[in-house]
């Protein structure tokens, strides 16, 4: 059998498990979109779009250490650091690249890595690249007691569960030589003073923040924020920074405007949380602090069936299946935004109830 034959066999196996995915080609105009992580609606904000239009160039031209040196990168890094209460910040071309670059570097200074079992794939892949002894602890529990310097890796708001961890409790259990890497991807812009996330109140050099520009800030790119010596080391050691083409300065400019808007967007955050609370209450779910509302339905087939029925009702909420979530925990994951209308939330509640009742 040729390699293409073996590929077809692998695809047939994926289809048989109801885990086959394909890129959608249709436009979503006319749909109520509950799939996007554009929590504050800034990706289409006129000021952000206008900033992108006024950029003097599109591509960066190369890696930051070579031809990718642009003023917008430095300005955005300074503004991100100030927002998060950290000494410095360093841009990467995505949050995924930030995780892959930073975790192996941080792990050099610890004996092992401790990771929440529901961490995002980017964090898991970064841990694998670190080639350090690591242990996975139960979600929602504290990291296990340890007697050697450790790198503890965790999201602050989990992307598939929508729940938040107690960062204060995690900080209290750190040893002096530990490092806590907090992925704030789904917290930034959404919670905390000026939307600066859950780690903003932790003034401790052992806490390192990983973030993204592609969710609540509506742009693209990722970053690490923390002590100045760490940022200097990442510039010299993080492979996904050294060898990757820099973020386009046009996107950095748009992200700066989005950051300015996000810091003063208390009204948008209030609407966002009101919408999320309305959806949770309508579905009889427990209250939560995030904009992520998961509805676990069990099997892959059931999740696909409900998602298809919602699509027929012009509601976009893709089914989330393994390996994104554990087997038996397939779900509909609703990302609530500030620009959703109350009647759209109510429509979703009514239609989802009907879909669940028929499957």
CATH number at residue 353: 3.90.1150.10
Say which of 97, 215, 220, 340 is annotated catalytic: 215
Range of the domain at 286: 29-42+266-358
Q: pLDDT tens digit string along 224-269?
A: 999 999 999 999 999 999 999 999 999 999 999 999 999 999 999 9
Residue 70 known to be catalytic: no
In a domain, 136, yes or no: yes
The confidence score (pLDDT) of residue 69 equals 82
Q: Where is the domain boundary, 237, 263, 289?
A: 263
pLDDT value at 16 more than 80: yes
Q: Are residues 130 and 247 in the same domain?
A: yes
Residue 183 known to be catalytic: yes
Distance of CA 221 to the CA centre of its chain: 11
Q: pLDDT tens digit string along 71-113?
A: 999 999 999 999 999 999 999 999 999 999 999 999 999 999 9
Say which of 73, 120, 220, 340 is annotated catalytic: 120
Q: Are residues 244 and 294 in the same domain?
A: no
Say which of 186, 220, 273, 340 is annotated catalytic: 186
More confident residue, 28 or 22: 22
The confidence score (pLDDT) of residue 27 equals 66
The mean pLDDT of the chain is 95
Residue 53 known to be catalytic: no
Q: Are residues 259 and 276 in the same domain?
A: no
Q: Are residues 252 and 281 in the same domain?
A: no
Residue 159 known to be catalytic: yes
Range 115-121, long-range pairs (CB < 8 A, 24+ positions): 115/152, 115/153, 115/154, 116/153, 116/154, 116/155, 116/158, 116/165, 118/155, 118/158, 118/160, 118/161, 119/153, 119/154, 119/155, 119/183, 120/155, 120/159, 120/183, 120/185, 121/324
Q: Place 142 in a pLDDT band, splitting at 50, 70 and 90.
A: confident
What is the average pLDDT across 277-282? 97
Which CATH number does the domain housing residue 223 bear? 3.40.640.10
Measure Cα distances from 310 to 28, 91, 347, 355 in Å: 13, 38, 11, 7
In a domain, 200, yes or no: yes
Say which of 38, 72, 155, 184 is annotated catalytic: 155
Of 239, 229, 232, 191, which is closest to residue 211 (Cα–Cα)? 191
Q: Are residues 283 and 341 in the same domain?
A: yes
Q: Where is the domain boundary, 263, 298, 319?
A: 263
> What's 281's DSSP letter?
H
Q: Are residues 78 and 38 in the same domain?
A: no
Residue 54 known to be catalytic: no
The confidence score (pLDDT) of residue 23 equals 86
In a domain, 12, yes or no: no
In a domain, 322, yes or no: yes
Q: Where is the domain boundary, 263, 278, 305?
A: 263
Q: Are residues 179 and 327 in the same domain?
A: no
Q: Are residues 152 and 173 in the same domain?
A: yes
In a domain, 13, yes or no: no
Residue 5 structure tokens: 């034959």
Distance of CA 156 to the CA centre of its chain: 10
Give the global pTM. Answer: 0.95
- The answer to whether 111 and 149 have CB atoms below 8 angstroms apart is yes
Looking at the 3D structure of the chain, how many domains does it have?
2
The confidence score (pLDDT) of residue 26 equals 65
Q: Are residues 211 and 342 in the same domain?
A: no
In a domain, 54, yes or no: no
Q: Are residues 159 and 200 in the same domain?
A: yes
pLDDT value at 359 more than 90: no
Q: Are residues 38 and 126 in the same domain?
A: no
In a domain, 70, yes or no: yes
Q: Are residues 318 and 249 in the same domain?
A: no
Residue 215 known to be catalytic: yes
Residue 330 known to be catalytic: no
């Amino acid at each position: 059998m040729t390699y293409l034959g073996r590929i077809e066999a692998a695809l047939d196996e994926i289809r048989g498990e109801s885990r086959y995915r394909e890129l959608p080609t249709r436009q979503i105009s006319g749909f109520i979109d509950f799939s996007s992580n554009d929590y504050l609606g800034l990706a289409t904000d006129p000021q952000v779009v206008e900033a992108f239009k006024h950029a003097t160039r599109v591509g960066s031209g190369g890696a930051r250490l070579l031809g990718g040196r642009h003023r917008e990168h430095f300005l955005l890094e300074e503004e991100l650091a100030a927002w998060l209460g950290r000494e410095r910040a360093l841009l990467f071309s995505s949050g995924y690249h930030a995780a892959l670059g930073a975790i192996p570097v941080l792990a050099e200074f610890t004996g092992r890595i401790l990771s929440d079992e529901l961490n995002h794939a980017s964090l898991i892949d970064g841990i694998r690249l670190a080639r350090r002894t690591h242990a996975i602890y139960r979600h929602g529990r504290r990291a296990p007691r340890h007697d050697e310097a450790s790198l503890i890796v965790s999201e602050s708001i989990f992307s598939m569960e929508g729940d938040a961890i107690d960062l204060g409790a995690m900080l209290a259990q750190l040893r002096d030589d530990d490092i806590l890497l907090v992925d704030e991807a789904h917290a930034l812009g959404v919670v905390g003073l000026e939307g600066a996330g859950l780690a903003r109140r932790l003034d401790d050099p052992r806490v390192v923040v990983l973030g993204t520009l592609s969710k609540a800030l509506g742009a693209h790119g990722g970053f690490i924020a923390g002590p100045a010596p760490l940022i200097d080391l990442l510039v010299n050691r993080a492979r996904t920074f050294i060898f990757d083409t820099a973020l386009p300065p046009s996107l950095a400019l748009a992200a700066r405007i989005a950051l300015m808007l996000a810091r003063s967007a208390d009204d948008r955050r209030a609407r966002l949380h009101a919408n999320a609370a309305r959806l949770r209450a309508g579905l009889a779910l427990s209250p939560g602090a995030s904009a992520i509302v998961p509805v676990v339905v069990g099997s892959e087939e059931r999740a696909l069936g409900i998602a298809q029925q919602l699509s027929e009702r012009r509601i976009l909420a893709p089914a989330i299946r393994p390996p994104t979530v554990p087997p038996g925990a397939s779900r509909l994951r609703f990302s609530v935004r500030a620009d959703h209308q109350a009647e759209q939330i109510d429509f979703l509640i009514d239609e989802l109830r009907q879909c669940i009742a028929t499957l």
